[in-house]
Amino acid sequence: MELYNLKHPSQVVNFSQAVQLGLGKDRGLFFPKSIPVLDNVDALLEMPFAERSKQVLGAWLADELGQAAVDALVDKAFTFPAPLVDVDHHRGCLELFHGPTLAFKDFGARFMAQCVNLLAGDQGLTILTATSGDTGAAVADAFYGLDKVQVVVMYPKGKISELQEKMFTTLGKNIHTVAVHSDFDACQHLVKQAFDDPEVREGLALNSANSINISRLLAQICYYFEAIAQAKKAGHNNFVVSVPSGNFGNLTAGLFAKAMGLPINRFIAATNANDTVPRYLENGTWAPHDTVATMSNAMDVSEPSNWPRVEAICEQMGWPLSLISGLALNELQTSESLLNLYNLGYQSEPHAAIAAQGLRQLLTKDEYGIFLGTAHPAKFKDVVDRELKLDLPLPPELEEVVNKTILSVELNADFAMLKAHLFKMLR
In whole angstroms, give the CA distance from residue 427 to residue 416.
16
Average pLDDT, the chain: 94
pLDDT tens track for 370-404: 999 999 999 899 999 999 999 999 999 999 999 99
Q: Provide the pLDDT confidence category of residue 121 given band limits of 50, 70 and 90.
A: low
The answer on 285 and 218 residing in a single domain is yes
In whole angstroms, give the CA distance from residue 122 to residue 51.
31
The predicted pLDDT at position 147 comes to 81
The CATH number of the domain where 229 resides is what?
Answer: 3.40.50.1100
pLDDT tens track for 169-190: 999 999 999 999 999 889 989 9
Helix (H) or strand (E) holding 239: strand 239-244
The answer on 261 and 184 residing in a single domain is no
Q: For residue 295, tell me if it sits in a domain.
A: yes
Cα separation values, 30 from 202, 312, 415, Å: 19, 11, 25
**Which residues, 6 or more positions from 62, have their beta carbon under 8 angstroms from its beta carbon?**
70
pLDDT score of 122 more than 80: no
The predicted pLDDT at position 319 comes to 98
The answer on 222 and 365 residing in a single domain is yes
The answer on 247 and 176 residing in a single domain is no
Rounded to the nearest 10 degrees, the angle between the axes of helix 249-259 and helix 214-233 is 60
Q: For residue 181, tell me if it sits in a domain.
A: yes
The answer on 314 and 224 residing in a single domain is yes
Neighbours of 2 (CB within 10 A): 15
The predicted pLDDT at position 361 comes to 97
The predicted pLDDT at position 20 comes to 84
Q: How many domains does the chain have?
A: 2
The answer on 283 and 175 residing in a single domain is no
Q: Are 244 and 370 in contact (CB under 8 A)?
A: no
Provide the domain limits for residue 290. Answer: 81-103+214-388
Work out the burial of residue 235: count CB atoms within 10 Å of its CB; fewer than 13 is exposed, 13-18 middle, 19 or more buried.
exposed
Work out the burial of residue 68: count CB atoms within 10 Å of its CB; fewer than 13 is exposed, 13-18 middle, 19 or more buried.
exposed
Q: Provide the pLDDT confidence category of residue 155 given band limits of 50, 70 and 90.
A: very high
pLDDT tens track for 258-316: 999 999 999 999 999 999 999 999 999 999 999 999 999 889 999 999 999 999 999 99
Q: For residue 1, tell me if it sits in a domain.
A: no
Alpha helix (H) ranges present in 120-242? Answer: 134-143, 162-169, 184-196, 198-203, 214-233
pLDDT score of 211 more than 90: no
The answer on 262 and 236 residing in a single domain is yes
In whole angstroms, give the CA distance from residue 253 to residue 355.
16
In whole angstroms, give the CA distance from residue 2 to residue 243.
28
Q: Are 207 and 213 in contact (CB under 8 A)?
A: yes
Phi/psi for 359 (5° steps) reads -70, -40
Q: Over range 411-415, report the average pLDDT.
A: 97
Nearest to 426 by CA among 166, 208, 205: 205
Q: For residue 33, tell me if it sits in a domain.
A: no
The answer on 131 and 232 residing in a single domain is no
The answer on 328 and 261 residing in a single domain is yes
Q: Are 298 and 101 in contact (CB under 8 A)?
A: no
Q: Are 406 and 136 in contact (CB under 8 A)?
A: no
In whole angstroms, give the CA distance from residue 40 to residue 59.
12
DSSP code at position 375: B
Cα separation values, 401 from 98, 109, 132, Å: 17, 20, 19
The answer on 360 and 327 residing in a single domain is yes
**Which residues, 6 or more positions from 240, have their beta carbon under 8 angstroms from its beta carbon?**
264, 265, 266, 267, 268, 359, 362, 363, 367, 368, 369, 370
30: β partners: 5
**Neighbour-count burial for 35-63, b at 16+ CB within 10 Å, e otherwise:** bbebeebeebbebebbebbbbbbbbbbbe
Amino acid at position 330, single letter:
N
Q: Are 151 and 209 in contact (CB under 8 A)?
A: yes
Q: For residue 12, tell me if it sits in a domain.
A: no
pLDDT tens track for 127-139: 999 987 778 888 9
Q: For residue 191, tell me if it sits in a domain.
A: yes
Q: For residue 6, tell me if it sits in a domain.
A: no
3-state class (DSSP) for residue 351: helix
Sheet holding 30-32, edge to edge: 12-14, 2-5, 30-32
The answer on 297 and 281 residing in a single domain is yes
Looking at per-residue confidence, does 148 or 288 come out higher?
288
Please spell the DSSP secondary structure of 55-124, one letter per residue. Answer: HHHHHHHHHHH-HHHHHHHHHHH--S---EEESSSSEEEEE---STTSBTHHHHHHHHHHHHHHH--TT-
Q: What share of the chain has pLDDT > 90, as a percent?
A: 84
Phi/psi for 198 (5° steps) reads -55, -35
The predicted pLDDT at position 124 comes to 78
The answer on 357 and 274 residing in a single domain is yes
Q: For residue 121, tell me if it sits in a domain.
A: yes
Q: Are 195 and 209 in contact (CB under 8 A)?
A: no
